[in-house]
Amino acid sequence: MIFMEILMRQMKWMLGTGLLLALALPLRPFAQEGAGDVVYVPTPQIVVEEMLRMAKVGPGDFVIDLGSGDGRMVITAAKQFGARGFGVDLDTVLLKLSNENARREGVADRARFIEQNLFETDLSQATVITSYLLPEMNEKLRPKLLNLKPGTRVVAHDYHMGEWHADEMRTLDVPEKKVGNPGKSYVYRWIVPAKIAGRWQSQIATGAAPANWEFEFEQRFQMFDGVAKNGSRKITLRVPKLEGDQLSFQFFTKPGDNSTRFEFKGTVKGDVIDGALKLGDGAAQKQLPWNAKLVQRAASPQ
């Protein structure tokens, strides 16, 4: 069994597309669909639908499926969720089947399938990326995914992205699943984070004259921390959160005194953050416009 597992992993890697296995005749009993000389392991339909729900796919989305098999991911995204998109694969038999399935389901205008190496695919159109790839392939793809537009959702079946921890993970009971983790499927979701590591400057009108504040952010994937500086004051940020291009954090100029709480929320737009500041607490709370400008970018260890 160990030998067979190693063989399966090696063959999957050489094909470089989803969970396709070429000429793996001893593994035919595990295959659920396919034609010609290709045996492949499809994502169960219940998992497909859960992946798309976790990605919050809707009519405005463009889905790209990496290693698209029989096309069920993109076809389901189009038919059940109203999205558009395409799948890429290296197997011509499965590509023909995928396009036939799209025509049969009435979504050929919104779901198409092309022969292409997934590592060479242009992903810039995507709002959602889906895959069923081995961890080493996910990690090879990771830099490309992290350079996509902030807010792009990435959803993977069974396998993680190494040090880039998922924003959400769910476990599904899938009795019909016989390979990988029999009877279980793991679905991981990531949101591509904006790049915020560096030094940002801002003016905040909290009194008669605007106060100059500087923020220094350190970032690792979607996690960040940092400090706020005003003159000689240096204050550690509290509850920092980054989800796509949406950033928030807070601090107190007098620890424990809610009347001195600064609560920031903003949208990262390249070298600018536009948002709002809530100052204080209760009836006396003020809401002010807030923006910050990047003055020195730091490298994120991604």
Residues 76 and 214 in one domain: no
pLDDT at 209: 76
Last residue of a domain, one of 134, 165, 191: 191
Residue 3 lies in a domain: no
Q: Rounded to the nearest 10 degrees, how much is the dihedral formed by the CA atoms of 90, 93, 97, 99?
A: 50
pLDDT at 246: 98
- Name residue 141's amino acid: L
pLDDT at 20: 38
Residue 127 lies in a domain: yes
pTM of the model: 0.85
Residue 28 lies in a domain: no
Residue 246 lies in a domain: yes
Q: Which residues of 246-255 are buried (b: 16+ CB within 10 A; e: fewer)?
A: bbebbbbeee
pLDDT at 28: 31
Residues 94 and 182 in one domain: yes
State the residue range of the domain holding 257. Answer: 198-297
Last residue of a domain, one of 158, 191, 224: 191
Closest among 248, 245, 233, 236 to 271, alpha carbons compared = 245
Residues 60 and 155 in one domain: yes
Whole-number percent of the chain with pLDDT over 90: 77
Which positions ≥6 away from 197 have C-beta within 8 Å? 217, 218, 219, 224, 297, 298, 299, 300
Q: pLDDT confidence of 300, banded at 50, 70, 90? A: confident
Last residue of a domain, one of 191, 221, 242: 191
Q: Which CATH number does the domain housing residue 179 bear?
A: 3.40.50.150
Residues 136 and 240 in one domain: no
**118: its two tokens:** 């997934």
pLDDT above 50 for 30: no
**265: its two tokens:** 């929320």
Residue 233 lies in a domain: yes
Contact 224, 242 (CB under 8 A): yes
Q: Which CATH number does the domain housing residue 265 bear?
A: 2.40.128.20
Query: Over the stretch 173-229, which tens digit does the pLDDT of each residue have?
Result: 999 998 888 999 999 999 999 999 999 999 988 777 788 999 999 999 999 999 999
Residues 177 and 67 in one domain: yes
Question: Where is 115: in which H helix or E strand?
Answer: strand 111-115
CA–CA dist 105, 78 (Å, integer): 10
55-59, 224-228, 298-302: segment of lowest average pLDDT: 298-302
Closest among 58, 118, 108 to 83, alpha carbons compared = 58
Residues 215 and 238 in one domain: yes
For the chain, what is the mean pLDDT? 88
Residues 53 and 163 in one domain: yes
Residues 290 and 185 in one domain: no
Which positions ≥6 away from 256 have C-beta within 8 Å? none
Region 252-256: mean pLDDT is 90
Residues 179 and 256 in one domain: no
Query: Over the stretch 267-287, which tens digit does the pLDDT of each residue have?
Result: 999 999 999 999 998 888 999
Number of structural domains in the chain: 2
Sheet bearing 183-191, strands edge to edge:
111-115, 84-89, 62-66, 128-131, 153-157, 183-191, 168-174
Residues 158 and 257 in one domain: no
pLDDT above 90 for 58: yes
Q: Write 27-34 long-range contacts (CB < 8 A, 24+).
A: 30/178, 30/179, 33/69, 33/70, 34/70, 34/93, 34/94
Contact 76, 47 (CB under 8 A): no
Residue 55 lies in a domain: yes
Residues 181 and 263 in one domain: no
Residue 27 lies in a domain: no
Residues 57 and 96 in one domain: yes
